[in-house]
Amino acid sequence: MSGHSKWATIRRKKGALDAKRGKIFTRLIREITIAARQGGGDPDGNPRLRLAIDNAKAANMPADNIERAIKKATGELEGSQISELTYEGYGPGGAALLVEVATDNKNRTVAEIRHIFGKGNGNMGETGSVAWMFERKGVITVKRNGKSEDEMMEIVLDAGAEDLQTEEEFFVVTTSLESFELVRKILIEKKYNVENASLQWVAKNHLSLNGDNAEKMMKLIELLEECDDVQNVFTNADFVD
């Protein structure tokens, strides 16, 4: 089906490193907290919370950490209020960036994000300046474990998926928002090894970067991801070299 994205592979490797460093736990805890605060602490009635818990378990997060995050969100334990925000901008070479944050201090976070854009040879934009270049999609990463592309394609297309990318070690399944939970559920029921499932901003078209612009863009993304308040960074950049 669709072509291979070098940036998707880079993100996956960076995600594995983040997990080893323990950084992934912080992001997962924030996602659980926000989901529980918005939709309640019962995962059976809160699909976003159920997904966040499943991802936390897949990352081997202790059950006590998950329960504590839910209780803080629902007021059973004391905790700070976390807000979700999305910032937009451009990086080197004109590539677009969407930055999702979770913060307990909006003024601090916007100042830090603006500083990072400037430091990384980018420009922070107004709301809506680049969001139109992206679509909200479900993205499910599945370990291949010897499974064939034809077998996987038949399963996910029958379940309502939109796209399948095949890599050396992974399948990457893209779905609409409406089909996301059903596709994820079917893959789990069929005992596929779902490494990660999340809602992401997927670029409608990619902008190829190489040389100096590619290096600067990757450095900017790295700086953004190192910010404690940043949950996710999405770009329409793809890296030729």
Whether 31 contacts 102, CB under 8 Å: yes
How does pLDDT run across 116-168, given as a tens digit for each residue? Answer: 999 999 999 999 999 999 999 999 999 988 888 899 999 998 889 999 988 88
Which CATH number is associated with domain 134-203? 3.30.70.980
In terms of C-beta density within 10 A (0-12 exposed, 13-18 middle, 19 or more buried), how is residue 65 classed? middle
CATH superfamily to which 83-132+204-239 belongs: YebC, transcriptional regulation domain (3.30.70.980)
Phi, psi of 234, deg, nearest 5: -125, 145
User: What is 6-74's CATH topology?
Assistant: Arc Repressor Mutant, subunit A (1.10.10)
**Residue recorded with tokens 């190192």:** 226
Tell me, yes or no, if the two domains 6-74 and 134-203 fold the same way: no
What pTM was computed for the model?
0.84
Which residues of the chain fall short of a pLDDT of 70? 1-22, 79, 241
For the chain, domain boundaries: 6-74, 83-132+204-239, 134-203
Q: How many CA atoms lie within 13 A of 132 on its CB side?
A: 5
